[in-house]
Amino acid sequence: AQSVTQLGSHVSVSEGALVLLRCNYSSSVPPYLFWYVQYPNQGLQLLLKYTTGATLVKGINGFEAEFKKSETSFHLTKPSAHMSDAAEYFCAVSLGKGGKLIFGQGTELSVKP
Amino acid sequence: AAGVIQSPRHLIKEKRETATLKCYPIPRHDTVYWYQQGPGQDPQFLISFYEKMQSDKGSIPDRFSAQQFSDYHSELNMSSLELGDSALYFCASSSQFGTGGGGRDSPLHFGNGTRLTVT
């Protein structure tokens, strides 16, 4: 069965520092992977997705993620954190026909001045 | 661009009451999903509809039902509400038709959710 695991429920970085949010997946078929961001009391916004092709995927707000099949990972990075990046981040895998998403547990990102 | 519209944004009900949540998907999207997100938790899949037919079912209680109408809007009906039903309920839509990945690669677009509080 497909699943995702996010390592670290809380990550805190200083403004301007590298952001690294970890996601590992388990899938019996080639995975389609997504990162979503959720601001307080708002819906989930798509940051980026990996389906096929280039393994380094660029998304919105300067985020990118690299699909590494050998490590079954899809970690999210941003070179320089901004205060506005503080939010909850969810990694997700798409299951089967119909596109249902299964989410990881989420990682809350805090950015210190 | 048009987004997924959910109403109401907030809803307060008492135990054993009923609630109806509405979702208006992005125009021309053929699939609607419902998710439940408890406090501090990840969204849990409840149910989905493709072209007005139920396409998948997750951890949706028997007290809940949903349908998609001819205009593609969807409603989640919740009866005999319990305190544990207090959560954020999200609707999402996507376009499954014509995607090479059988729908798996089509991202879900989420609404801002309905916060249900059961007292």
pLDDT at A98 over 90: no
Hey, what are A37's tokens? 């961001």
pLDDT in tens, B44-89: 999 999 888 999 999 899 999 999 999 999 999 999 999 999 999 9
Q: Which of A50, A97, A102, A105 to mutate to test the interface with B (most CBs of B within 10 A)?
A: A97
* In the predicted structure, residue B18 carries a pLDDT above the cut 70: yes
A98: chain B residues, CB-CB within 8 Å: 31, 48, 50, 55-56, 96, 103
Nearest CA in chain A to B88: A41
Residue B15 to residue A96: CA distance in whole angstroms: 36
pLDDT digits (tens, 9 = 90+) for A60-76: 999 999 999 999 999 99
> How high is the pLDDT of residue B28?
87
Per-residue CA distances from B76 to A19, A101, B44, B70 (Å)? 37, 19, 15, 15
Closest in A36, A99, A104 to B94, CB measured: A99
Q: What is the pLDDT of residue B40?
A: 87
Cβ neighbours around B63 below 10 Å, total: 13
Could you give the CA distance from residue B18 to residue B7 in angstroms, rounded to a whole number?
15
Give residue B96's pLDDT band: very low, low, confident or very high (50, 70, 90): confident
CA distance A44 to chain B (A): 6
**Which residues neighbour A29 within 8 Å (Cβ) at sequence distance 6 or greater?**
A2
Mean pLDDT for B32-51 is: 93
pLDDT tens, residue by residue, A5-59: 999 999 999 999 999 999 999 987 888 899 999 998 788 999 999 988 889 999 9
**What string of DSSP letters covers B17-72?**
--EEEEEEPPTT--EEEEEEE-TTS--EEEEEEETTEEEEE-S--TTEEEEE-TTS
- From the centroid of its chain, how far is CA A17? 18
pLDDT for the residue B103: 59
As a whole-number percent, the residues of chain B with pLDDT over 70 amount to: 92
> Does B95 have pLDDT greater than 90?
no
Percentage of chain B surpassing pLDDT 90?
A: 75
Contact B104 A44 (CB under 8 A): no
CB distance B45–A106 less than 8 Å?
no
Q: According to the model, what pLDDT value does residue B99 have? A: 52
B93 touches A: beta carbon within 8 Å: no
Predicted confidence at residue B23, as pLDDT, reads 97
